[in-house]
Amino acid sequence: MIPDTVFADLALVLDKRVTRSKSDLEQHGRSEAWHPDTPPDAVAYPKTTQEVSAIVKICHANDIPIIGWGTGTSLEGQTSAIHGGLIVDFTQMNKILQVNDSDMDAIVQPGVTREQLNIELRTSGLMFPVDPGANASLGGMAMTRASGTTAVKYGTMADNVIGLEVVLADGTVIKTGTRARKSSAGYDLTKLFVGSEGTLGLVTELTMRLHGQPEKILAGVCSFDDIDSAVNTVMLAIQMGIPMARIEFLDVSAVQAVNSYAGSEFPLKPHLFVECHGSDTGVESQIETLSELIDDFGGSPLEWASKPEDRNALWTMRHNAYYACLALKKGCVSVITDICVPISNLAEAVVETAEDIEKSFLDGPILGHVGDGNFHAVLLIEPDNAEDLAEAKRLADLMAKRALRFGGTVTGEHGIGIGKKHFMAQEHGDAAWDTMGALKTALDPKNIMNPGKLVR
């Protein structure tokens, strides 16, 4: 609970931009996935770093939990106010502060979304490629170490955030990183905060690495007779070093979901969605090698979407695949898995997962960014159905154990939040997880920054 006197102090800083209105609290209590609603006690809409610092100081003095909020599209309950407190919504800190064309970087506020940045960059010849599907905020994407369809070529948020401004738990403001391409000047604080899910501080500014818009883009789809062939094609393509920009897998159930949601007519077979970026000759040579591989594994010839509008339609379908999966079963919610394994174990991991789901009474379309070894089963459950939830958790647990057996991770890109916390000790071992806990305690001794998430 936030006492009235503390709320009054916050209002002295933010005036009407801190609120306890029912609609604001409800809106910020919702989660994209199966996690129960947990409205905060209040919601703040700061406009400046100074305001963020001021309200964090007030919360620090009064032991009020603080949870950052971008677009609310995280999938593991990262923004759930499980201990109540103040949600700091960054929607009004959405300015692009600098674009440095010649250094290929940009400085932005955390509420800027990836699409907003790309619209700004449209005429610059540059782009920001990290693409988790949702039009998430860059602050939120940094905090979950998001990635998505293009990570196979351009890396994740870990590779593309080069500096931060952070408000620490006591309200102190620090800057991390530089605009140089590399540095050996001490601990890499930027990389520590990226992926920290708001448990170490609130990000108020980000320096992003940008990339040149490719001279040529070509996207296409192909289908295979079985999962094995599709995934083995990807494994070999990666091992051969074909620099694909996107290579996405959809199983039959995911294809079915996309067809019925988007009105497409893909054959009911496992599919790969592919995109290549490069020079004219570079893209041609990628496609040639890839086509041979697809053919070797009995895949259908690539159908090209060379026009921008066709390409956009294709990736919109892929981006909406999560909602398409949800639409398979009316009123359902999802338990989303997110394992990532070494490439050489990918086919085995996907096939075993498909077999588990086949044997289960739940539906669970499989899709993922297989070029990274990362895939998701979207396990569909009725809300408040304990049996469904237990079965989904059993399947998710099998997948997590499989990932760890192969030397992989329980989450490639969605993060831990509250949904995957029980896997942390299994993945890292108690001592390493405790090490994370020690870092958290060092920077946030009062445990007010997104308490209950990620660490023990």
Of the candidate spans 220-228, 249-257, 280-288, 294-302, the one that interacts with a copy of itself by CB under 8 A turns out to be: 280-288
The secondary structure of residue 244, as a DSSP letter, is -
Q: What residues from 395 to 414 belong to the interface with a copy of itself (CB under 8 A)?
A: 403, 406-414
Euclidean distance between CA atoms 82 and 101, whole angstroms: 42
Q: Which two tokens stand for residue 276?
A: 């290549």
- Residue placing its CB nearer to a copy of itself in the complex, 122 or 405: 405
Asked if 454 touches a copy of itself (CB under 8 A), the answer is yes
- Residue placing its CB nearer to a copy of itself in the complex, 94 or 353: 353
Amino acid at 56: V
Q: Got the DSSP string for 352-369?
A: HHHHHHHHSSS---EEE-
Long-range contacts: 91-100, Cβ < 8 Å, 24+?
91/45, 92/17, 92/45, 92/46, 92/47, 93/46, 93/47, 93/48, 93/52, 93/204, 94/137, 96/120, 97/205, 99/124, 99/126, 99/210, 100/179
Q: What residues from 234 to 273 belong to the interface with a copy of itself (CB under 8 A)?
A: 235, 239, 241
Euclidean distance between CA atoms 313 and 311, whole angstroms: 5
Asked if 87 touches a copy of itself (CB under 8 A), the answer is no
Instruction: Count each helix (H run) and each strand (E run) in the chain, helices first.
Output: 17, 19
Asked if 43 touches a copy of itself (CB under 8 A), the answer is no
Asked if 433 touches a copy of itself (CB under 8 A), the answer is yes
Q: What residues from 290 to 349 belong to the interface with a copy of itself (CB under 8 A)?
A: 338, 340-344
Euclidean distance between CA atoms 445 and 443, whole angstroms: 6
Euclidean distance between CA atoms 246 and 301, whole angstroms: 17
The minimum distance between CB 92 and a copy of itself, in angstroms, equals 25
Q: What residues from 156 to 215 belong to the interface with a copy of itself (CB under 8 A)?
A: 156, 158-159, 168, 172-176, 178-189, 191-192, 194-196, 200, 212
Q: Which two tokens stand for residue 295?
A: 């053919």
Asked if 383 touches a copy of itself (CB under 8 A), the answer is no
The minimum distance between CB 412 and a copy of itself, in angstroms, equals 5
Q: Work out which of 281, 306, 312, 385 binds a copy of itself, going by CB under 8 A.
A: 281
- Residue placing its CB nearer to a copy of itself in the complex, 45 or 423: 423
Q: Work out which of 23, 102, 265, 361 binds a copy of itself, going by CB under 8 A.
A: 102
Q: What mask of x and - would describe binding to a copy of itself in positions 121 to 150, judged by CB under 8 A?
A: -----------------------xxxx---
Q: Work out which of 46, 72, 198, 415 binds a copy of itself, going by CB under 8 A.
A: 415
